[in-house]
A and B are shown apart, each in its own frame.
Chain A
Amino acid sequence: MPTVEAIARRHYGRLLAWLAAGFRDLAAAEDALQDAFAAALWRWPTEGVPEHPDAWLLATAKRRIFDRLRQRKVSDAFAVDLRHTLTEAEDAVTWQFPDNRLKLMFVCAHPDIEASMHAPLMLQTVLGLDSRSIADAFVVSPSAMSQRLVRVKAKIAAATLAFEIPEREALPQRLDSVLQAIYAAYTSAWTTTPDSDTRGLAGEAAYLAQLCVDLSPGEPEALGLLALIRFSDARAVARFAADGAYVPMDEQDVTLWDRGLIAQAEATLDLASRNLTLGRYQLEAAIQSAHISARQRGVARSAVLPLYRALVSLHPSFGAWTGYAAALAQAGETRAAKQVLDDLGEDRMRLYQPWWAVMAEVATRLGDTASALRAYDMAEGLEDAATVKAWLRQRRNRLLQ
């Protein structure tokens, strides 16, 4: 029997999107849905889980909304009108969004909300990530991220920011934030172990990326993100051995990769490049493509370096720089890799696990065993996943043999 928590994970985003679309008030829709889940926690264990839990939750949440309206002494005429709006929500918009969640994501990219918070807001409200995972995705501390989210939501509630479905013309400006959220959701799911319950999120992210492409055909960055996700999905099964042990890309069994999906990804990336507008996701997809070619066809490791240089100049994130350092090391340019890591700076990178993992490899190659041991310890200590911890420990112990 599914638990309330499991049902919440599966249905929350969809139910919220539906309610918010109908009610046009994100804060009120969230309150009502949370009340409905609280009621479920109270009643389902004794009364049993209803046959259609999502319908039960939706009905309960809708009742809550009407209860509150009555408390606010809203006129009956308006309530009837609203009831109509709620049931006819889809017809109320002049053009159709392919998916309610995607629609709600575009709403979160409201120009009155600080741009850097658009994607985190979507991840929390629509895709149901906790603030800790969101913080990881944006390389900030969990407390900083949850404070920012609280502030943004307070602003939404105070200003009662209208739940406005953006006009079609406004979509391109908002697309960037939506792609950012989908990318963060996918990466967040990708970095977790196979036993983790966020696995389904990777599939949702792939689906949403496809919808973005359908919504804005030919948009190169939407295509780039879809290509990137397909390249990664193609390697998904090879990432863990039969016993669940973590297998890094360089040690993966190439024959397990999904060649059909790789071909689709290549075609998608090719379509994106026809627009001649380079962007972050296209570059990251091209980097994936180069890594795959290096393993499949022995293409030189250095082929990926110009792509990384373009990425760090266009989108200089900690992740991009750290990836560049790893690529330099793989291409045999170990000293250059060390320089990139040193420029990022140990103080700033102290809690950034990937930096330590790359530093451990680089120090190993430079023969600096003491630094390598320390870096492996830090990388292992900062890692969540037991499988990756075990892999790092093996690498570390090789230094002692």
Chain B
Amino acid sequence: MFANLTLESYKTMQFALMISETHEGFEDRNNARAGEYWGGWMAYSRAIAESGIFAGGAGLELPSTATRVVFDGASKTVQDGPFPDARELLGGFFVIEVDSLDDAIAWAKRCPITKGGTVEVRPVLPPPPQAD
């Protein structure tokens, strides 16, 4: 019954790389630098996929398309984007399976971000214990 649980699968951990970009960075999706922007992310995704560490992820449409549901006490307010207050906004995320935080940081540093931004690296919670 433990046939699939090799030592390796105990060792690896999942991390989310949450990629925030600046407004200038998002502009590169649709201007003269678009080829470089998308090419960079394609190369990065390819390297992640071919390294066998990809466990999930998605690129997101522009922050201006976002809608927020804000919970405040008993009331729930729906707000339409854009939200110009934030300097950086989420542009996409990856979930990768690697040996340690060091490896995850190494991957975060390879992100093709050229106009400023942040990659937040966070361990993914382990699945809740299963009742038999």
Contact = CB atoms under 8 A, between A and B. Distances in A.
A386 B112 contact: yes
A365 interface: no
A354 B99 CA distance: 23
B119 to A, nearest CB: 12
Given A350-B50, A389-B40, A397-B35, A143 B109 contact: no
Nearest to A351: B51
Given A393-B39, A396-B39, A378 B102 contact: no
Give the top 3 A-B pairs by smallest Cβ distance, nearest first.
Answer: A381-B47, A143-B100, A142-B102
B52 to A, nearest CB: 8
Interface of B: 35-36, 39-40, 42-48, 50-51, 98-103, 105-106, 109-110, 112-114
Nearest to B13: A143
A244 B112 CA distance: 16
24 contacts: A135-B106, A141-B99, A142-B102, A142-B103, A143-B98, A143-B100, A146-B100, A147-B100, A376-B43, A377-B46, A378-B46, A378-B47, A378-B50, A380-B40, A380-B44, A381-B46, A381-B47, A383-B110, A384-B110, A386-B112, A386-B114, A389-B43, A396-B39, A397-B39
A177 interface: no
Contacts of B106: 132, 135, 142
Contacts of B105: 132, 142
B38 to A, nearest CB: 10
A364 interface: no
Given A350-B50, A381-B45, A381-B46, 11 more contacts: A135-B106, A142-B102, A143-B98, A143-B99, A351-B51, A376-B43, A377-B43, A378-B43, A380-B47, A396-B39, A397-B35
Contacts of A146: 100, 102
